[in-house]
Amino acid sequence: MENEVPAVEETEQQDVTAAEPTERSGSALPLILTIVSVFIWFAFQTVQLVLERNNLGALTANLETPMQESRKMQTQLQSLVTKTAELANQGNAGAKAVVEELERRGIPIQGAAQPSK
């Protein structure tokens, strides 16, 4: 029995089994397409993020001048309020009314003592 020649049916089954791995190599195509599409998506997102970052940098640069002007105006306003508070401490009736109104509105007055009543 060991020396017998394999039957034709057994040989055909071996040929069919050998042919199956060649079909599996075609199943890698969806995986390859998925990997390529994910790579393209990441590249697209990276480009979009770089463009957004550049736009935000430009906006920040454009806002720098108005921010400096607002700081300058804030300093001037604080100086005006401080001098008004000093006038109120010296007895100026108009300055006292302004300081009282500022206090009522919740605007802090720094650098000067509160007017005496």
| Average pLDDT along the chain | 82
Domain that holds residue 95: 28-104
Please give the structure tokens belonging to residue 24.
């599996």
In this structure, the dihedral spanned by the alpha carbons of residues 23, 25, 30 and 34, taken in order and rounded to 10 degrees, is 170
| DSSP symbols for 49-86 | HHHHHHHHHHHHHHHHHHHHHHHHHHHHHHHHHHHHHH
Quickly count: other Cβ atoms within 10 Å of residue 24's Cβ. Answer: 8
| pLDDT tens-digit series, residues 65-106 | 999 999 999 999 889 988 998 998 998 899 889 888 888 998
Structural domain contains residue 18: no
Give the global pTM: 0.49
Structural domain contains residue 14: no
Structural domain contains residue 88: yes
Structural domain contains residue 75: yes
Structural domain contains residue 90: yes
- The domain total for the chain is 1
φ, ψ at 7 (rounded to 5°): -70, 160
